[in-house]
């Protein structure tokens, strides 16, 4: 598939589903790494984590609300 010898289904699976997820994962990981470095630099604390300013609680709340109101769209 990567060399152009795959079927249409294989191309869709690789380039339409897997590759976008891999690239998104790379970009999200890079963003989290940069934001962690910025947080540690701004607070001048090498052990700083997102829990210091409440990001964990906000993220958990957003996840619960999303699951509560969007469950039917994804799991039906």
Domain definitions of the chain by residue range: 1-45, 52-76
**pLDDT computed for residue 35 by the predictor:** 86
Q: In terms of Cα–Cα distance, which of 18, 25, 56 is closest to 39? A: 56
For the beta carbon of residue 12, count every other beta carbon within 10 angstroms: 13
pLDDT tier at 75, thresholds 50, 70, 90: low
Question: pLDDT tens for residues 50-68?
Answer: 777 777 888 889 888 888 8
Q: What is the DSSP letter of 12?
A: I
Question: pLDDT tens for residues 12-62?
Answer: 888 898 999 999 999 999 998 998 888 888 888 888 777 777 778 888 898
Q: In terms of Cα–Cα distance, which of 39, 34, 41, 44 is closest to 55? A: 39
Radius of gyration of the CA atoms of the chain, in A: 19
What 3-state DSSP class applies to 48? Answer: coil
**pLDDT computed for residue 73 by the predictor:** 57
């Amino acid at each position: 598939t990567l060399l152009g010898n795959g079927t249409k289904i294989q191309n869709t699976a690789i380039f339409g589903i897997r590759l976008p997820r891999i690239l998104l994962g790379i970009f999200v990981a890079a963003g989290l790494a940069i934001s962690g470095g910025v947080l540690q630099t701004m607070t001048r604390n090498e052990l700083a984590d997102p829990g210091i300013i409440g990001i964990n609680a906000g993220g958990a709340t957003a996840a619960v609300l999303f699951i509560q109101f969007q469950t039917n769209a994804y799991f039906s």
